[in-house]
Structure 1
């Protein structure tokens, strides 16, 4: 390749390469793209020749990206998204919200907000194509930085240098238990009549997510600062399975009301307030500072904050808006 000469790489080649990177195999990517596998292989071979470097390593179980391939995949995602945003902005500048928007939720928030948000966007902004992903806060932060998603809800922001941060929800964490696994009285609203101190929680067997899950980090930070050593008998990185353990009275857990709002409402689980101290955390909406803000992402952000307020006001969610503190 001539020094200083930029090889002609078209957007289609980048699109094909990103598909292979995300699918992990040429055959799977070909199926997603609707192409014949030999044709897709030839496109990637041409791309490698243009760039004068190997991008993928083919193996019996799929493909692996080389160091150059990893770098190209990241840049290609940014380029493709930038083109898509540019087209939408030029076509509909100042007009109706439309186009793709991706948002990531941690599991407890996803259970509460994903369906109402999807239904609202579908009804009010039918030209917006919403994609919702669910993962731990650490992964969501990584996806924001790598521009795999536009918006993310997280509980921990270890480094805000690359992201804008907006607090959207403050919530307390409760001890969650099956009602018949609790010695005290349970009120009709699903809350225990008397609270429990954090010091007393350490005598109970707990099921919690592992580190670096955002909830676990918050809980351990409060415990350590108060000289409490929690008895975590099981770690499960699956919110439904954690809830199932508590429901079966196999262990207790510590969760926000949002994570078990339906179970508390139907009486299968109960909330016990934790005091001395109260374990409180804040949820933040983040987006990458350097990424352009589309009209579609703005309406998703607006509707999300509206839905949270409605959940608190109408559905008695045990949480508060940050401005109300």
Structure 2
């Protein structure tokens, strides 16, 4: 018999129990009084005991009715909460989101994206995973990541059906020890670093991310001699500052540069470095779509001027 109880029976009962007046409860429910009375009697028949003591002058809860009221209110609250959470999930406003990112993005647009997203989606639990571009792409491929922030993602490294949107572009700078003979120059020619040992990040970070900066020197007829590798820009800057070599880096590393190094613009360099948002093509989950919308909107309002000739773009990579 319990299966015949419907949520409307609970709502009707709670209204009468809180008002202790069938007329006022009917008005509250936008019902006529006779149908309301009929439904309360049906509920009492299903339960097998009276919920109200009725007289011509008053309506009172029975002992069983008082106990049932607390349970009915709790049930309705739980149902409403579940409905609200389901709607929030459907809108992408609730749940967990795993974001992979390259560390240098934290020196660029990523903190502003995360702040804006967290403020507008406080019920989403962000799980942030710092790694190389190649590892972020791998996480998208195996499903451990929902979205990724890349630097110079390589089309040949990407999974079938990966959408990549450029969020920001910046020039590369030469990173020299403060004691280097050219450290005080306002700009530097790539050719002037021929013969200097280089400190650089590993190829495993991503093929394009590795080769793109080096192409600036190849245009001048040489390929830098890399004598030391490090996985993080802070380590690279410290090694350069210690005199182990020079390097080339996105301009954002100036934010963490110490007095031991000089970050100098490179003359004539046409290549720029891109921070990109990557998601699987056809991504339909609202929680991921909301993050992508936040990231692209933040890109449009980013204060750093975009390098001329490097507009925001969407690319669809396939093997």
- 2:171 equivalent to 1:172: yes
Using a 3 Å threshold, how does the CA distance of structure 1 residues 138 and 281 change in structure 2: closer, same or farther? same
Deviates more, 1:88-97 or 1:254-263: 88-97
Q: Report the counterpart of residue 227 of structure 1 in structure 2.
A: 221
* Aligned mates of 1:179, 1:318 — CA distance in 2: 28
Deviates more, 1:197-206 or 1:269-278: 269-278
* Aligned mates of 1:88, 1:210 — CA distance in 2: 48
* Aligned mates of 1:257, 1:184 — CA distance in 2: 16
- 2:288 equivalent to 1:297: yes
Q: Give 1 or 2 for the bigger CA radius of gyration.
A: 2
* Aligned mates of 2:167, 2:99 — CA distance in 1: 14
Using a 3 Å threshold, how does the CA distance of structure 1 residues 302 and 253 change in structure 2: closer, same or farther? same
* Aligned mates of 2:260, 2:297 — CA distance in 1: 29
Structure 1 position 114, deviation (Å): 4.8
RMSD: 3.2
Structure 1 position 207, deviation (Å): 0.3
* Aligned mates of 1:176, 1:318 — CA distance in 2: 22
Q: Report the counterpart of residue 275 of structure 1 in structure 2.
A: 267
Structure 1 position 298, deviation (Å): 2.7
Q: Report the counterpart of residue 149 of structure 1 in structure 2.
A: 145
Using a 3 Å threshold, how does the CA distance of structure 1 residues 260 and 202 change in structure 2: closer, same or farther? same
1:120 to 88, 93, 116: 116
Q: Report the counterpart of residue 162 of structure 2 in structure 1.
A: 163
Q: Report the counterpart of residue 100 of structure 2 in structure 1.
A: 104
Q: Report the counterpart of residue 277 of structure 2 in structure 1.
A: 285
Check whether the contact 1:205–1:231 (CA below 8 A) recurs between aligned residues. yes
Check whether the contact 1:121–1:130 (CA below 8 A) recurs between aligned residues. no
TM-score of the aligned structures, taking structure 2 as reference length: 0.60
Q: Report the counterpart of residue 208 of structure 1 in structure 2.
A: 200
Q: Report the counterpart of residue 198 of structure 1 in structure 2.
A: 190
Using a 3 Å threshold, how does the CA distance of structure 1 residues 322 and 280 change in structure 2: closer, same or farther? closer
- 2:241 equivalent to 1:247: yes
Q: Secondary structure at the match of 1:133?
A: strand
Check whether the contact 1:105–1:133 (CA below 8 A) recurs between aligned residues. yes
Check whether the contact 1:309–1:321 (CA below 8 A) recurs between aligned residues. no
Using a 3 Å threshold, how does the CA distance of structure 1 residues 299 and 178 change in structure 2: closer, same or farther? farther
Gapped runs of 5+ residues in structure 1? 1-86, 186-191
* Aligned mates of 1:268, 1:319 — CA distance in 2: 28
* Aligned mates of 1:300, 1:238 — CA distance in 2: 26
Gapped runs of 5+ residues in structure 2? 1-82, 314-319
